[in-house]
Amino acid sequence: MSAIETAIPAPLLFTDNAAVKVQQLIKDEDNEDLMLRVFVQGGGCSGFQYGFTFDENQQEDDTVVENQGVKLLIDPMSYQYLVGAEID
């Protein structure tokens, strides 16, 4: 009997360099409640569009990746397209 292999997606990587830069941007905004949200939107004929925004609210179903005290938020729909990505 052969074993069944299941591929486990690589988690999203939020690098130290990115976290330090975002940390500085949050400091510049003078609002320690800000978190970075990454999202994916349908872009019509040109495919998906990827974006970043600051958010003060973490949703219950968000995936949270934390580095250097900075939280990166990803909604469930966007997460499926970002698995294995690197935020640098």
Average pLDDT, the chain: 90
The 10s digit of each residue's pLDDT in 54-88 is 999 999 999 999 999 999 999 999 999 999 999 99
How are beta strands 13-14 and 86-87 bridged, if at all? parallel
Is there a contact between 70 and 22 (Cβ–Cβ < 8 Å)? yes
pLDDT score at 1: 54
Domain residue limits, the chain? 35-88
Look at the domain 35-88 and name its fold. Hypothetical Protein Aq_1857; Chain: A; (2.60.300)
Examine the pLDDT at 51 and tell me if it is beyond 90: yes
pTM for this predicted structure: 0.83
